[in-house]
Structure 1
Amino acid sequence: MMRGLVVFILFLMASVSLHGCAGFVKQPACTGDRQECIGQSLDRAQAYAEDNRLAKAISEIQRARDRFPDAPVLREKFKQYESLRRQIIFDNELELLLERGRYLLAIRDNRENLFYARHDNYESRRRYREFEEAVEQTASRLFEKGQQAIRDREFGMAGRVLGLSNRLVSSTAARNLLAEIHFHRQDLRIESSRQEETRNEEKWSIMARDFNQAMENGNLPAAQKILAEMQAVKPGQVKDRRRRLENRIDKEVETLLERGRFLYTRGDLQKALKTWEQGLELKPDDPKLQQNIRRARTFLDNLDRWRN
């Protein structure tokens, strides 16, 4: 072992004698004037950034700032790279979170069916409890990301994130924020309507895009409101969209009805009630939803009286 260590040390010494110390020491400090040194640092940082090595770019600018702390260009460039780094991290985290949310949503029916078939099995109950916790944690994190997107005025992303969060776990807070996003987009559409008549097509385009986005995000209440606005602008051109929306609402209501029944059977009356109320927002005249909601509220009222 000692012999091997000696050989390694001799190898290092030979490398230094042949190639110098470039691989073992830091790059020498700039010996030019102030502007030349700053320019060299900026160029190196730009090269790192273009190579998607933001950490190296930030480090390069920070070294220059340590030497020239009063240089505004270094301060601004540091802010720019740091902001870009944070945005990349946020976007990557968000995409992973969205993928997880979509996955949990896709497998939820299967997990619930397995639980219902074996609900008296301890292992089955444990696995489903873990699944529910994963759903709630993911929905909560998506809600936080949606709030941040609203603060950053990224309303398209906010709608996408909050829509998924609300589909995972029905949330009044999420739906309120989705309504806020809708009102923001509505303001844009109203502003557009105040323009010249020649901009009517642009307004229609905004509404059509918002409608498609709301449908894609599963934000059906917003899609209903947008369709009503489109009806006012071009009454004869919403028939296909109306049929598409009604079919989607029917499917969503049926899903919510079944999910509410599942929760009711499990004894989760509050969750069942919230699920049915969410369906009633989409289809206020649905008799099955109305009947189930009355039954759940009556049961909960009776429970409260018994407890008191």
Structure 2
Amino acid sequence: MTLLRTLVPLLLALGLTGCAIVLIQPYSPEQRLQLALQRGDIVLVREIMTTLPANEDDPDRAALRAWLERAERHMEQAMLMQAAGHLRREQWTQAQASYDHGLAVRPDSEILRAARARALKEQQEHLQHLRVRLLLSQGRALASLKPLYAQILRADPDDPSVQQASAQAQQDAGQVAEGLLQLGLSAMDEADLALAVEALSLSQALVPDPAAEAALQSAQAAQTRQQALERRAHQAQLQAQWAQRTQVLFSNFEGAMEAGDLPAARRHLLALEQAQPRDATVRRLRRELAKAVDAEVTLGLETGRRLYLDGKIPEALETWRNLLELRPDHPDLQAHINRAERALESLRRLEPGGPGATGTP
């Protein structure tokens, strides 16, 4: 109470003499630190910690510093994720606010600074893209409106609203044409020839100009050369891809032949013939496969005959059917299959309960 009686006259005197009022902080740094911790105010905690005297031997102070470091890292990641969510929704202002909040907590974070810089760059590029689209849209709209207004005025020259709209369109056309000309020239400098041709074409359509016409011709010539180079590069890429695919097919064919998988070898050879129909190596492989197939079919026919004569008709039929993929047009093979199928059908009829069986009297 004595201190209060002393301070009140002093404060009144300072106020009456025009001096600034001195605010008395009622809490100690330790008390303010506890209040900041209770509120979860990491920024204030960091600020108060810098004012406290260093005491490396204080375990509570060391634990608090460790907690503060963990909290700052957690906040850094949280703000990065929050900003990324805003960017996905094109909420650029909110994303920057998230980065700024994170940097207020962790001002030395290189990750946050780099992410904020990338976001600003993306925002500027996005804005530039939108402005280009807007200018092109204005050019297309005016290019459509001008002849339409002219047609209406030829039919009704005294329509005041159309006269006013036509005059406004003519005025706007000059401004938009100039913007399109500058856009086209800038696009040429950046080698964006498609954009350059579109912008310069619209500029010339709105307001014919020798400078725009010369730039347009230059851009069209450069675009023609670029397209020719792209076609040649694409053709070379296709040829390289075909060469690589052909090599793979050759390897697959050789592997199938070594494994004795003649059906697979036949499939790979058919693909090779489509890729290289006049290649001498492909013709040699065709002869090699034909010899192997002839030998396989001859052996399979004989194996099937032995099985058939031994009464193993299902096994014989399966053997002959497996050869059909190699020689689907082989006359003897198809005849053997037909005979075996008829024999099996006859046997099924003779089985008890079969369609041809007779009951006992």
What's the TM-score once normalised by structure 2's chain length?
Answer: 0.40
What's the TM-score once normalised by structure 1's chain length?
Answer: 0.45
Tell which has more relative contact order, 1 or 2 (C-alpha 8 A, sep 6+): 1
Larger Rg: 2
